[in-house]
Chains A and B, each alone.
Chain A
């Protein structure tokens, strides 16, 4: 045993050294997965809980493009103000930000939560018209209050392909990469 000690030690050290990059790559994949990301900071902490759950608004009430076009679309501030001009906003910091942005004519730059990989097209209207619900991909956004919306589904190519196969949708490249 004594005789082989140095050889065993060498083998162990070698394995450890070789395992480091493998572990690092696996860890990176795990920690950088979209679903593993912390909730992103937004310029205004918009509570979906209040609008979609407590008040029961349909998602497409605000995200009007979802059923007709590629993008679900974020409403214009003008649209928010249709209601918020009559809802008291004084002393409520998040609402003050909205009113201030509207009055100064400054668009609000939201941080994108669902960032698809590069070189892919996703069309909301097609998926909704097929019969999917918003929650199938976005999770129960209505239950997400402050600090904001979190991505619950991977939404990378593997995820897309799995779902397309399950639903007998086409999986050739040009379906999404065009």
Chain B
């Protein structure tokens, strides 16, 4: 290299170095807000920088309404935990409650009242003021109160009281939407035990549990309560480890905990239960005196039971062997206290009510109803007139009728709060099309879900962590409990509590409700509880009483228990019916509520989307669980996309080969397939309800979502299933070879 070239090169690189060092300054890349410090306008009274505060409030009624505590840091809700003082959960909580903070700070939350600014369903909205929004809704109700329908979740607690008063004052129609299996369970409780409330289990003292398809650790009525009790059942006693058998068509996360899983045909739960009863009575394992309520609940005579339900007669229909049924019956009768429950897909068959009644009536036979270690029934609400609880949702049959009325113009205005009928009802119900043609639709949702997308007006509600309420948990712990819900943070956006909106609407319509606001309603109802003169709160002054109740998280009275139970009406045995010819549709389609997303009401929360399904560890999608032998027969493996065809419709799903799947049962998780509902839910997976034929439960008219047959067609395409485990094969390290245990040579 010549000297001149070297100098050129040196000068260039030196200049470059100088230029590059000069670029950027300290803190480069930090957001500008990092360099700002704010003087808030008002001094939050509990604000202490760097210190946290914990507030007690309540989880939503749909996941058990138990007590939670929320960590609040500088005015922001950070973390949800279980309330250690609350009798239902004693400090435990679930992922759905933990994710409530994500709902509060969700990027797609509706921040202000909206008015439709384009075609219905276009999702084009324009923000308007609250006065204008309230005026418009009041106008709609005033036009035709009789043709106005208010859709909510089942009425519960203080908010339920406000809705009830509003409906009564204005004379509008009301319908409540909840998962159909709960409708069936409620009716089963009414018939088998004469109570309106859901039952709880004294697992801490039980020795044997048999669950017929009920996914009680993850999705069935009050999973936190049962999961806590299950811990005590298995490990809480030094000398006894409870035994748990699961009878059902799918190995769910709950079933995977069982000592023994007995796979049966979908809808055969009741048949197995009757056969167990036959064995127990025939072999004299149970007292004759206990048999009377059992026979009354099922409208059978001992002779009919012995003739029609002997294990050998029903074995083929259930998918079990007669010997398996006998073993199950003996285990259930001999390891007392024993308890039997049924739910989830057992309730979602055309004979769902029979399945539930037959299984729950087994508890009569072993004397477990209301006794230690058995099935504990819950009392009614402590204020039966003022504080609604244990209300049943409307069955599918009524929704079809309502859809017809909306389409026919008898119902012109539909108001929807905390319900998403367009997603939760199958398209076969016609509800979506009806809503599309409805006169006006008003939604009170915080998110643009499928129903809200069809709304003309959106009046966003506070999330649960921002509003006042009293929640009557259903099921309770066996005695009367009320949880207090209080705002743990100030409203994050320009939303208003639904109760406040109803109270303001009623005032505008000239029919004022007894309370000036939702908060006042809660305080007034809490004071009525004080008037009962019993319970855990020891204070005389109304203010002290309410503050104590707030700090403890609720009110409960351990002595207020349910009375004697007796069967009220007989439920005759019935066989499940399925839509689709077995020849044409060889498989059972078994949708199941997702452990994390439920029936799809939690799909907008990314923490829950990312929570692995316990058996497959799949996340963020829908899949089809196929038995390995079935998969081999039709030539597919995990990741192959197949078309599932039912008499109702078809959908394309990736196969997940699951060794624990039954050969003729194809399971699909619910919860996905949203076409709206925020960025984390939209356009992901399939909603199995679109495949489900509109079969109804014979007696209650609830949707039997597990009563459809299907067949598979190959598409030749593949996709990768998002899964936590098993994506990367295990590999062997050179230095530390994987130790293989081999049988010693003899």
Is there an interface contact between B27 and A25, defined as CB atoms closer than 8 Å?
A: no
* Interface SS of B by simple majority: mixed
* A37: nearest chain-B partner, CB-CB: B26
Taking the complex as formed, is A65 at the interface, i.e. its CB lies under 8 A from any CB of chain B? Answer: yes
Contacts of B50 in A (CB 8 A): 65, 69-71, 123
Of the listed stretches A49-57, A100-108, A128-136, chain B binds: A100-108
Taking the complex as formed, is A32 at the interface, i.e. its CB lies under 8 A from any CB of chain B? Answer: yes
Is there an interface contact between B39 and A65, defined as CB atoms closer than 8 Å?
A: no
Of the candidates B15, B21, B27, B41, the one whose C-beta lies within 8 Å of that of A76 is B41
Known: A10-B3, A65-B49, A101-B41. A112 touches B35 (CB 8 A): yes
- The smallest beta-carbon distance between A52 and chain B, in angstroms, is 17
Taking the complex as formed, is B737 at the interface, i.e. its CB lies under 8 A from any CB of chain A? Answer: no
Is there an interface contact between B21 and A107, defined as CB atoms closer than 8 Å?
A: no
Of the candidates B18, B25, B42, B49, the one whose C-beta lies within 8 Å of that of A21 is B18
* B74: nearest chain-A partner, CB-CB: A71
Taking the complex as formed, is A109 at the interface, i.e. its CB lies under 8 A from any CB of chain B? Answer: yes
Size of interface on A: residues with Cβ below 8 Å to B: 38
* A82: nearest chain-B partner, CB-CB: B43
Of the candidates B14, B17, B18, B38, the one whose C-beta lies within 8 Å of that of A107 is B38
Is there an interface contact between B38 and A109, defined as CB atoms closer than 8 Å?
A: yes
- Chain A residues 35-73 with CB under 8 Å of chain B are 65, 68-71, 73
Contacts of A78 in B (CB 8 A): 41-43
Is there an interface contact between B49 and A24, defined as CB atoms closer than 8 Å?
A: no
Q: Mark B594-634, 1 if CB is under 8 A from A, else 0.
A: 00000000000000000000000000000000000000000
Taking the complex as formed, is A111 at the interface, i.e. its CB lies under 8 A from any CB of chain B? Answer: yes
Of the candidates B18, B21, B49, the one whose C-beta lies within 8 Å of that of A70 is B49
Taking the complex as formed, is B284 at the interface, i.e. its CB lies under 8 A from any CB of chain A? Answer: no
Taking the complex as formed, is A89 at the interface, i.e. its CB lies under 8 A from any CB of chain B? Answer: no
- Chain A residues 1-55 with CB under 8 Å of chain B are 10, 13-14, 17-18, 20-21, 24-25, 28, 32
Taking the complex as formed, is B22 at the interface, i.e. its CB lies under 8 A from any CB of chain A? Answer: yes
Contacts of A106 in B (CB 8 A): 41
Q: Mark A81-114, 1 if CB is under 8 A from B, else 0.
A: 0000000000000000000011001111111100
Is there an interface contact between B39 and A115, defined as CB atoms closer than 8 Å?
A: no
Taking the complex as formed, is B30 at the interface, i.e. its CB lies under 8 A from any CB of chain A? Answer: yes
Contacts of B25 in A (CB 8 A): 32
- The smallest beta-carbon distance between A83 and chain B, in angstroms, is 14
Is there an interface contact between A105 and B41, defined as CB atoms closer than 8 Å?
A: yes
* B35: nearest chain-A partner, CB-CB: A112
Taking the complex as formed, is A79 at the interface, i.e. its CB lies under 8 A from any CB of chain B? Answer: yes
Contacts of A17 in B (CB 8 A): 7, 10-11, 14
Taking the complex as formed, is B51 at the interface, i.e. its CB lies under 8 A from any CB of chain A? Answer: yes
Taking the complex as formed, is B48 at the interface, i.e. its CB lies under 8 A from any CB of chain A? Answer: yes
- The smallest beta-carbon distance between B3 and chain A, in angstroms, is 6
Is there an interface contact between B39 and A108, defined as CB atoms closer than 8 Å?
A: yes
Of the candidates A13, A18, A24, A65, the one whose C-beta lies within 8 Å of that of B48 is A65
* A18: nearest chain-B partner, CB-CB: B14
**Cα distance A20–B27 in the bound complex, in angstroms:** 24
Taking the complex as formed, is B384 at the interface, i.e. its CB lies under 8 A from any CB of chain A? Answer: no
Is there an interface contact between B38 and A74, defined as CB atoms closer than 8 Å?
A: yes
**Cα distance A110–B25 in the bound complex, in angstroms:** 21
Is there an interface contact between A24 and B21, defined as CB atoms closer than 8 Å?
A: yes
**Cα distance A14–B6 in the bound complex, in angstroms:** 10
Is there an interface contact between B14 and A20, defined as CB atoms closer than 8 Å?
A: yes
Is there an interface contact between A69 and B10, defined as CB atoms closer than 8 Å?
A: no
Is there an interface contact between B10 and A109, defined as CB atoms closer than 8 Å?
A: no
- The smallest beta-carbon distance between B66 and chain A, in angstroms, is 33
Contacts of A21 in B (CB 8 A): 14, 17-18, 21
Is there an interface contact between A111 and B39, defined as CB atoms closer than 8 Å?
A: no
Known: A21-B21, A65-B49. A107 touches B39 (CB 8 A): yes
Is there an interface contact between B41 and A14, defined as CB atoms closer than 8 Å?
A: no
Taking the complex as formed, is B40 at the interface, i.e. its CB lies under 8 A from any CB of chain A? Answer: yes
Contacts of A79 in B (CB 8 A): 43
Of the candidates B3, B7, B27, B51, the one whose C-beta lies within 8 Å of that of A115 is B27
Taking the complex as formed, is B307 at the interface, i.e. its CB lies under 8 A from any CB of chain A? Answer: no
Is there an interface contact between A118 and B27, defined as CB atoms closer than 8 Å?
A: yes
- The smallest beta-carbon distance between A158 and chain B, in angstroms, is 14
Is there an interface contact between A69 and B35, defined as CB atoms closer than 8 Å?
A: no
Taking the complex as formed, is A75 at the interface, i.e. its CB lies under 8 A from any CB of chain B? Answer: yes
Taking the complex as formed, is A152 at the interface, i.e. its CB lies under 8 A from any CB of chain B? Answer: no
Taking the complex as formed, is B36 at the interface, i.e. its CB lies under 8 A from any CB of chain A? Answer: yes
Is there an interface contact between B38 and A110, defined as CB atoms closer than 8 Å?
A: yes
**Cα distance A17–B42 in the bound complex, in angstroms:** 59
Taking the complex as formed, is B37 at the interface, i.e. its CB lies under 8 A from any CB of chain A? Answer: yes
Is there an interface contact between B26 and A32, defined as CB atoms closer than 8 Å?
A: yes
Of the candidates A24, A80, A105, A108, the one whose C-beta lies within 8 Å of that of B38 is A108
Is there an interface contact between B30 and A118, defined as CB atoms closer than 8 Å?
A: yes
Known: A18-B14, A79-B43, A108-B39. 13 other contacts (CB 8 A): A14-B10, A17-B14, A18-B10, A21-B14, A25-B21, A78-B41, A101-B41, A106-B41, A107-B39, A107-B40, A109-B37, A111-B35, A117-B26
Residues of B within 8 A of A (CB): 3, 7, 10-11, 14-15, 17-18, 21-22, 25-27, 30, 34-43, 48-51
Q: What are 12 A-B interface contacts by the 8 Å CB criterion?
A: A10-B7, A18-B10, A20-B17, A73-B49, A75-B43, A76-B39, A79-B43, A101-B41, A108-B38, A110-B39, A111-B36, A118-B27
Residues of A within 8 A of B (CB): 10, 13-14, 17-18, 20-21, 24-25, 28, 32, 65, 68-71, 73-80, 101-102, 105-112, 115, 117-118, 123
Q: Which 10 A-B pairs have the closest CB atoms?
A: A70-B50, A69-B50, A76-B43, A71-B49, A108-B39, A21-B17, A24-B18, A69-B49, A109-B36, A76-B40
